[in-house]
Amino acid sequence: MTERDLERVVSDYNRDGFAILPAYLNGSQLNALRDRAVPLARKLLEDNGGQGRFPNLFKSLQRYDEWFDEQLREGCHVPLINHLMDGDAVGVSAAWFDRPKGEMSGIEPHIDAVGENASANPGVTIWFALDPVDLGNGCVHYLKGSQKKNYPGETWVADVNKEAEDAFAAQLNPGDAVVHSAHTVHWSGGNFTGFPRRAISYFYLSRSVYHSYQKKRKQK
């Protein structure tokens, strides 16, 4: 990424809470990601039998394949994540987000992490498209500027106007990516086409938020 591209990404991210990264992966990086992700997701789907609220969403891929562990720690995107998080990023999860043909509902509006206040950046997610994604097959939408508000309590966000002028549909090509703050409200749609809509994301928290989540989990 050139200095100029980086400036544009930081400025979009600070203003809107997300930034589009066109052609972020080259052909061989995209093939490597797809070749690693698709068989693992197939195996996880066979093992779990499509259970749960999101049968085609698998988190913590790094626990099943060390390649994802390495990507989460040292992938080509990690310097950008650290740049956006002042060098404070801890990798939490590599995830598979599929919206296969016929899955008519997406994921409702949410943020990725609850922080202490809106001005502190609790984390960042980078989402890589493996297929062309658009309005028809359930692309991710963002509410521009929503990272600046406070959403205390929980990650699901009620009463979001998905038709608002500030709602942005991240329509991407394979190898494009989008990076968003853990405080940015986002959602996705169902797949009303015959085309696949597969993606991989990597999720990072700031060190302090990561440790406080770990502490809360141990107390449960």
Ligand X SMILES: O=C(O)CCC(=O)C(=O)O
Contacts with ligand X, residue ranges (CB under 6 A): 97, 106-107, 112, 125, 127, 140, 186, 188, 199, 201
**β-strands 123-129, 198-206: how paired?**
antiparallel
Contact 77, 41 (CB under 8 A): no
Q: For residue 33, what is the DSSP state?
A: H
Please, what is the minimum distance in Å from the beta carbon of residue 2 to ligand X?
26
Contact 133, 197 (CB under 8 A): yes
Distance CA 82, CA 209 (A): 15
Please, what is the minimum distance in Å from the beta carbon of residue 165 to ligand X?
22
Please, what is the minimum distance in Å from the beta carbon of residue 4 to ligand X?
27
Distance CA 90, CA 203 (A): 9
> Between residues 16 and 112, which has the closer beta carbon with respect to ligand X?
112
Q: For residue 169, count other CB atoms closer than 10 A to its CB.
A: 15
Which residue's CB comes closest to ligand X?
A: 188
Please, what is the minimum distance in Å from the beta carbon of residue 62 to ligand X?
15
> Between residues 7 and 173, which has the closer beta carbon with respect to ligand X?
173
> Between residues 9 and 170, which has the closer beta carbon with respect to ligand X?
170
> Between residues 9 and 198, which has the closer beta carbon with respect to ligand X?
198
Biggest CA pair distance of the chain: 46
